[in-house]
């Protein structure tokens, strides 16, 4: 039986763990590695020499054993986010950026909330040439990261202006350390602001070595391969080929068990699973109730043999899959006929229908989601939030719906939302969905 617990983690990552894995424990993204302030120059690694070695040497077998052990750990407990994060670190150590990005994202989806994992995921995305995805992730997580890490990470992801701003503000606020100064100097270099880069670097680097440092940074700034700057910072060897995370470890191999555990019972007249998935893509195939970290990562799993792509979306709380939308669809098929609606003047809208956009594990998440929905869907302008509580299979959920529609407009709005990839469900307000306990609030936010 595979060993678990702290001893396993010690086996996978012995003495160097505190330095190379914990990016924020020693130096984060700073160039000073794992050195001490007493010897500033000796602490700055020779990025040029490290990079040359990284670019010319193939991935060594020294990483193979660690990767095999970490993969075995994940296979023995596929839903353990700690094991997934450890495997991601092993891939990152071996320079397998694409595999690392997939695996770190798995850890996030399984509930890993640590900023350490988020930062490593951002680096892996940058190294695998997915800079926009990295920038999106950092956009939602940077507030809880150390400014030295977040600032340089933004610069590496291509948003040098924001990276420089974060680092500059931190220095002006009193966080004026060698690490953050050197990170700011490199951010200037990545932005092509060489005068500022040289002036900032000169505060910690002896004049005799300053020219070499500028040359090293120029090589990073002009590197054609996205992996090179990250590899130089982490002093790792980019893998010549990365076949990706093994198919047997893909997170979708454990998704059916998750869904079976969380799914609500369906009425006899419900749609088939396939029909529901086609009808509401964002809502039909979610797993367990999301954690805070899961709001930021949505994973698109490619067919076997293809590269898995990872994307990030705005931090609207992810819809909860435990409340099965098929049951709601089944109950909402019977809508009131136009004859049941009292005649009104042509210019007056008869508000008879709602458009549900998602259901969430907490009221706070639901309210935050409404704000995100409004920013993503301009046609929600003028419509009020209808928030209702529901009990499904013993669990409480908060449903987010937009009010202020008649039947035709609700159906039309839902169709438009679906074209953008947003799942929705139009139903009559006089026919509450299964499990509804009652309204929480009705409010107009615009």
Inside any domain, residue 280: no
What pLDDT is recorded for position 376?
78
pTM of the model: 0.50
Which of 177, 208, 234 lies at the terminal end of a domain, its last residue? 234
Total number of domains constituting the chain:
2
End position of a domain, from candidates 200, 234, 268: 234
Q: Say if 300 falls within a structural domain.
A: no
* Contacts (Cβ under 8 Å, ≥6 apart) of 78: 249, 251, 253, 254
210: CB partners within 8 A, 6+ apart: 198, 201, 202
In a domain, 282, yes or no: no
261 inside domain: no
- 390 has which bridge partners? 397, 436
Q: What is the CATH number of the domain that holds 412?
A: 3.30.70.1070
340 and 194 in a common domain = no
Cα(59)–Cα(341) distance, integer angstroms: 71
Q: Is residue 253 part of a domain?
A: no
Token code pair at residue 269: 């007249």
Q: What is the pLDDT along the chain (446 residues), one digit of tens a residue?
A: 444 444 444 434 443 333 332 232 233 344 433 333 333 333 333 333 333 343 333 444 678 888 889 999 999 988 899 999 999 999 999 999 999 999 999 998 888 888 899 999 999 999 999 999 999 899 888 888 899 999 999 999 999 999 999 999 999 888 889 999 999 999 999 999 999 999 999 999 999 999 999 999 999 999 988 889 999 988 888 887 887 888 898 876 443 333 333 333 323 222 233 322 222 222 222 333 434 333 333 332 233 233 332 222 223 344 444 344 444 434 433 333 444 334 444 445 677 888 998 888 888 888 888 888 887 788 888 888 888 888 888 888 888 889 888 888 888 888 888 777 777 888 888 888 888 887 654 443 33
Q: 158 and 21: one domain? A: yes
Q: Please indicate, yes or no, whether residues 89 and 214 belong to a single structural domain of this protein.
A: yes
CB atoms within 10 A of CB 333: 11
Structural domain contains residue 324: no
Q: Is 180 contained in some domain?
A: yes
Question: SS3 for 425?
Answer: strand
Position 155 scores a pLDDT of 95
Domain end point (choices 234, 253, 278)? 234
> Helices H, strands E: what count in the chain?
20, 7
Is residue 322 included in any domain, yes or no? no
The enclosing domain of 22 has a CATH number of: 1.25.40.10
Q: In terms of residue numbers, what domain contains 44?
A: 6-234
Integer CA distances (angstroms), 101 to 74, 96, 120, 185, in order:
15, 9, 8, 27
């Amino acid at each position: 039986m595979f060993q678990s617990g702290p001893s396993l983690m010690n086996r996978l990552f012995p003495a160097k763990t505190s330095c190379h894995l914990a990016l924020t424990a020693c130096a984060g993204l700073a160039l000073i590695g794992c050195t001490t302030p007493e010897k500033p120059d000796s602490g700055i690694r020779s990025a040029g020499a490290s990079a040359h070695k990284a670019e010319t040497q193939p991935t060594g077998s020294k990483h193979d054993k660690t990767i095999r052990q970490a993969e075995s750990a994940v296979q023995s407990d596929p839903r353990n986010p700690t094991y997934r994060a450890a495997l991601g670190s092993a891939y990152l150590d071996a320079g397998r950026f694409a595999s690392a990005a997939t695996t770190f994202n798995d850890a996030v989806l399984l509930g890993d909330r640590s900023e350490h994992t988020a930062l490593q995921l951002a680096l892996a995305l940058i190294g695998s040439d997915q800079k926009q995805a990295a920038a999106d992730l950092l956009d939602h997580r940077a507030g809880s990261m150390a400014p030295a890490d977040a600032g340089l990470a933004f610069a590496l992801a291509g948003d040098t202006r924001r990276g420089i701003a974060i680092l500059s503000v931190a220095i002006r606020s009193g966080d004026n350390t060698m690490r953050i100064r050197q990170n700011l100097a490199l951010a200037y270099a990545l932005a092509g602001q060489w005068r500022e880069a040289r002036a900032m670097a000169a505060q910690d680097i002896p004049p005799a070595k300053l020219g070499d440092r500028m040359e090293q940074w120029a090589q990073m700034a002009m590197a054609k391969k996205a992996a090179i700057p990250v590899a130089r910072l982490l002093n790792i060897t980019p893998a010549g080929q990365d076949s990706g995370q093994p198919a047997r470890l893909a997170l979708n191999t454990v998704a059916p068990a998750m869904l079976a555990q969380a799914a609500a019972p369906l009425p006899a007249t419900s749609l088939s699973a396939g029909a529901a998935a086609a009808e509401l893509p964002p809502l039909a195939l979610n797993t367990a109730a999301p954690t805070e970290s899961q709001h930021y990562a949505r994973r698109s799993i490619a067919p076997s043999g293809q590269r898995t792509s990872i994307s990030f979306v705005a931090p609207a709380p992810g819809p909860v899959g435990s409340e099965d939308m098929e049951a709601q669809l089944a109950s909402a098929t019977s809508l009131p006929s136009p004859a049941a609606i009292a005649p009104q003047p042509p210019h007056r809208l008869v508000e008879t229908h709602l458009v549900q956009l998602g259901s969430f594990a907490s009221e706070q998440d639901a309210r935050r989601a409404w704000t995100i929905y409004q920013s993503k869907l301009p046609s929600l302008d003028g419509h009020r939030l209808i928030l209702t509580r529901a009990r499904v299979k013993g669990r409480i959920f908060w449903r987010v719906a937009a009010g202020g529609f008649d039947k035709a407009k609700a159906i039309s709005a839902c169709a438009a939302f679906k074209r953008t990839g947003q799942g929705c469900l139009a139903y009559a307000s006089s026919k509450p969905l299964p499990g509804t306990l009652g309204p929480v609030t009705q409010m107009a936010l615009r």
